Structure 1
Amino acid sequence: MALAQVVYGRRLATTRPVPFLQPVHLGEDPADGFLAFEERPTTPRPPACAPWYQGQIVDARQGPELIGYHEPERGLFHFCYNVGTAFTYDHPQRRITALWSPPQTFEDTCTYLTGPILGFVLQIQQRVCLHASTVVMGTSAVAFVGPNGAGKSTLAAALLRRGAEVIAEDVAAIERQAEGFVVHPGPRAIRLWDPSVTALYGRPDALPCISKHWEKRYLPLDTPEQPRPARLTAVYLLEVVPAEAPVSSTQLSPMQAVTKLLPNIYPDWLPLPEARVAILDTLTQLATVVPIRRLSLPNSFCRLDEVCDYVLARHG
């Protein structure tokens, strides 16, 4: 029987089980996509074509963190990370091939896969992904949107301790269905930096590291059964404010909301005009039916319970 797992509403046949993804039985139905993994002794070579996208340069000696290549005539996208991990996405076949070489590991590769790579694949399939963590409180599914370091995962983990269910962390895959906009479940783990782990659990080593090459730690989301898509009832754009500032929120107009959401699509490197048009259309529809608010988040772990109280009072 073929191995298959589900994430972001996609059932993927895979050659190896991906950490934190739930198994799924395909039955007679075809998979929505395919994953293949291969470790190589040397760094995978980039394709011969010219770069299509170049990421930021963190270290001048290593060059861009990520370089993307596009072969439109074949429907292929290649993504080469400077750490020695590479991905090829065959759009016609809906197949992702992941390659890595030591010292990179399978776990390192899966971190890229379940984040920016699958986010990119979903968006060129015209499903919007936001840089957001999503929790369910009672009958409300609420997404907390913001860039790296805004506190999305920390707030989701704090709400988890207060009885909320976390269905997606860091990536919110959104789809319009008959009952409204829904968020599809993501990997069953929350990733946190050491200061957040210390604030929530008392010490940084209270949670295990993702891998020896990643400083973030993870909190498994143990659930008895696969979470279902949740109807999105509110979106909060996190705005970090001084530690002494009050916790408050402000309703945004649909036009303001779309302007604020666009920089938070995930990943934000999507230089495909047709995909961006589809994303803009979906965000415009979303902003007209789902309340989108700006939420002030005091820059102090001591205020986390107060922020949770504020959110739970409105959605718990």
Structure 2
Amino acid sequence: MTRFHYRAYEMQIISNQLLDSLMPVAGGRPADLTLQFSEMAELPEKTGGHSILRTTGMNAAGLPYLEVFMADEDGNGPWLAKHRSDKGAIDYILHASPKRIEVIVQSGTPAEDIEAYLTGAVFGYFLRLCGSSCLHGGFLSWQGKAIGVVGPKGAGKSTLTAGWAQQGLPVLADDVGCLIANGESWKIASAYPRIRLWPATFNGLALENAQKIGNVMSFADKVYVDLENSPFCFEAEAQPLGAILVLAPRTAGELTIEKLIGASALAALLGQIYAPQAGGKQARIRDVKMLTDVIKTVAVYRAALPNRYDWLRHNSMELLDQIIDEFSGNA
């Protein structure tokens, strides 16, 4: 049987199906994660477990596009992520030991939907199941340090990530930033060489169609941007975390920025944990301990971005300069 080899989130991945989204690597190393794809004409409806996520978006039958279950309230596995759309169905069954994800696909389900959920929410929940804490946002590399852009929906995290990437900053990860202990400091794991953008952002940044790799999902307008196509660049190695920018709602005026320390910094980052409802009490305790440690070596800021694409194109590097000066010790 043909095996395909990839690397993402510091994991060597072996899959029995070709995946366009992930970065291929040479084989020969033991797998950290096995992806096992299979296909059925109809997927049986699995019940039971503790539901921790139901998307507000629904298909024509009134089922959420994505629902995630834990085996119990304590966070034990396996976990199940169920996708149901009008075009198909997918069950992702997540196992922590040994690390594997079973992907059971209803025949005819669009291939883009399979990968979109796998590389997004499913990987985010899988990393949490395996004991990692992740932040929800974009992560870039600059001058040997990782910079995180996190915040609530609509604050501009994908927009700023893409704007900085357009100006030459290599991208480490889009959506899920996995924290990795690095002695007394922390790193952000490299993910895969794509970012996801809404058409308004794609057009607002005046990107070219040659940089687009089609829609993320068959039923949504979000598009992929290729990070291996100039002017973009993908950072394939984990980078030491230097700063995190927590975005507030965008402003009609000028940029505002403030540094957060102590309890304020901790609270701001706890609000940006990826899949915070997953894993039970022990996972939440782990988040607090890890982020308490993170803020000892990482500069944390809160900023409100101007709601203008021209600011991104012409002035956003000034914001980067402020952050770089701070964590480089030059302020």
Q: TM-score, normalised by structure 1?
A: 0.89
Q: Residues of 1 paired with 2:321 and 2:17: CA distance?
A: 39
Task: List per-residue Cα deviations over 1:263-297 (Å, max 9, x = no partner).
Answer: 21112331522222212211111112211110121
The answer to whether 1:274 aligns with 2:316 is no
* 1:46–1:80 contact (8 Å) kept in structure 2: no
The corresponding residue for 2:329 is none
The corresponding residue for 1:315 is 324
Q: Where in structure 2 are the equivalents of 1:181-220 lying within 5 Å?
A: 181-201=186-206, 207=212, 208-220=214-226
Q: Residues of 2 paired with 1:196 and 1:225: CA distance?
A: 19
- Over 3 Å counting, the alpha-carbon distance change for 1:166 and 1:285 in structure 2 is same
Q: Residues of 1 paired with 2:134 and 2:19: CA distance?
A: 20
The answer to whether 1:145 aligns with 2:144 is no
Q: Residues of 2 paired with 1:206 and 1:142: CA distance?
A: 23
* 2:227–2:234 contact (8 Å) kept in structure 1: no
Task: List per-residue Cα deviations over 1:142-166 (Å, max 9, x = no partner).
Answer: 1001133322222122112222111
Match of 2:83 among 78, 81, 85: 81
The corresponding residue for 2:137 is 132
- Over 3 Å counting, the alpha-carbon distance change for 1:200 and 1:247 in structure 2 is same
The answer to whether 1:5 aligns with 2:1 is no
* 2:211–2:225 contact (8 Å) kept in structure 1: no
The answer to whether 1:221 aligns with 2:230 is no
Question: Structure 1 counterpart of 2:38, which letter?
Answer: E
Q: Please tell me the root mean square deviation across aligned C-alpha atoms, in Å.
A: 2.6
- Over 3 Å counting, the alpha-carbon distance change for 1:107 and 1:63 in structure 2 is closer
Offset of residue 70 of structure 1: 3.5
Task: List per-residue Cα deviations over 1:176-221 (Å, max 9, x = no partner).
Answer: 1126211111110111111111111267897332343231111111
- Over 3 Å counting, the alpha-carbon distance change for 1:227 and 1:68 in structure 2 is closer
Percent identity reads 23
Question: Structure 2 counterpart of 1:47, which letter?
Answer: K
Question: Structure 1 counterpart of 2:239, which letter?
Answer: A
Q: Which runs of 5+ in 1 are unaligned?
A: none
SS at match of 2:216: strand
Task: List per-residue Cα deviations over 1:244-267 (Å, max 9, x = no partner).
Answer: 2x2131111221122122221112
Task: List per-residue Cα deviations over 1:109-142 (Å, max 9, x = no partner).
Answer: 1111111111111112221111111111223321
The answer to whether 1:58 aligns with 2:60 is no
Match of 1:283 among 291, 310, 325: 291
The corresponding residue for 1:174 is 179
- Over 3 Å counting, the alpha-carbon distance change for 1:142 and 1:298 in structure 2 is same
The answer to whether 1:256 aligns with 2:282 is no
Q: Residues of 1 paired with 2:235 and 2:297: CA distance?
A: 27
- Over 3 Å counting, the alpha-carbon distance change for 1:256 and 1:143 in structure 2 is same
Question: Structure 1 counterpart of 2:171, which letter?
Answer: V
The corresponding residue for 1:22 is 23
Match of 1:242 among 226, 240, 251: 251
* 1:116–1:266 contact (8 Å) kept in structure 2: no
SS at match of 2:128: helix
The answer to whether 1:162 aligns with 2:167 is yes
The answer to whether 1:97 aligns with 2:102 is yes
Q: Residues of 2 paired with 1:266 and 1:260: CA distance?
A: 13
Q: Residues of 1 paired with 2:169 and 2:236: CA distance?
A: 13
Q: TM-score, normalised by structure 2?
A: 0.85
- Over 3 Å counting, the alpha-carbon distance change for 1:206 and 1:18 in structure 2 is closer
Question: Structure 2 counterpart of 1:62, which letter?
Answer: G
* 1:197–1:204 contact (8 Å) kept in structure 2: no
Q: Residues of 1 paired with 2:301 and 2:219: CA distance?
A: 36
Q: Which runs of 5+ in 2 are unaligned?
A: 326-331
Offset of residue 303 of structure 1: 1.8
* 2:53–2:67 contact (8 Å) kept in structure 1: yes
- Over 3 Å counting, the alpha-carbon distance change for 1:148 and 1:15 in structure 2 is farther
